[in-house]
Amino acid sequence: MEERAIKAIQDDYPDDFAWCYGCGRMNEDGHHFRTGWQGEQTVTIYTPKPEHTALPGFVYGGIMASLIDCHGTGSAALALHRKNGHEPGDGSEPPRFVTASLKVDFLRPTPQGVQLKAVGTVHEIHPKKWKVDTKVFADDSLVVRGEVIAVVMPSTFTKKAAAE
């Protein structure tokens, strides 16, 4: 559980932007993915719920895709925030990203009842567009590989959220 206590970028999103079903702390029904730094890499720890099955005993692919998606946008936010001189928990508001594209390769079945660890490497394409390569491990076994292209949230989203 030590790894759960990382300083997560999602903890610093303003309330209006914290409703994501994947990673929003305000969304009671959601997954509450939390993403932080581990050295130069990004990490999200998550244990799927019993109902998140593909077949009994194996984790549903859509949950793995969701983990990679939010881990990707969170990782891009961490990286741009660090580039701007900030770390999670330092009191400054982080940038927010949306997913432009998502790729997931299912390398082997993901066993249920096991804590998953998504580990990301972030690459800047340009200041508003970042690529996050992610590997997901279950008990040290690499089960899924993913890639997210994340872009800084366009104003069409932020205007709508502010109006709610």
Binding residues for its own copies (CB under 8 A): 16-17, 19-22, 24, 27-30, 51-58, 60-63, 65-66, 69-70, 98-106, 109, 156-157, 160-161, 164
> Is the Cβ of residue 89 or residue 154 nearer to its own copies in the bound state?
154
CA angle at residue 14 from 65 to 155, to 5 degrees?
A: 75
Q: How far is the CB of 79 from its own copies (least distance, A)?
A: 19
- When the beta carbons of 119 and 151 are compared against its own copies, the nearer one is 151
The CB-of-148 to its own copies minimum distance in angstroms stands at 10
SS3 of residue 7 by DSSP:
coil
Contacts of 28 (CB under 8 A, 6+ apart): none
Nearer to its own copies, 87 or 106 (CB): 106
CB 79, CB 88: distance < 8 Å: no
Q: What is the DSSP string of 84-118?
A: TT--TTSSPPPP-EEEEEEEEEE-SPPBTTS-EEE
Kindly state the DSSP code that residue 74 receives in the 8-state scheme. Answer: H
Q: How does strand 41-46 pair with strand 35-38?
A: antiparallel
CB of 111 to its own copies, least distance (A): 10
**Residue (42 or 112) nearer to its own copies, CB:** 112
5 vs 154, which CB is nearer to its own copies?
154
Q: How far is the CB of 59 from its own copies (least distance, A)?
A: 9
Task: Give least dist CB 16 to its own copies, A.
Answer: 8
Question: Which amino acid, one-letter code, is at 38?
Answer: Q
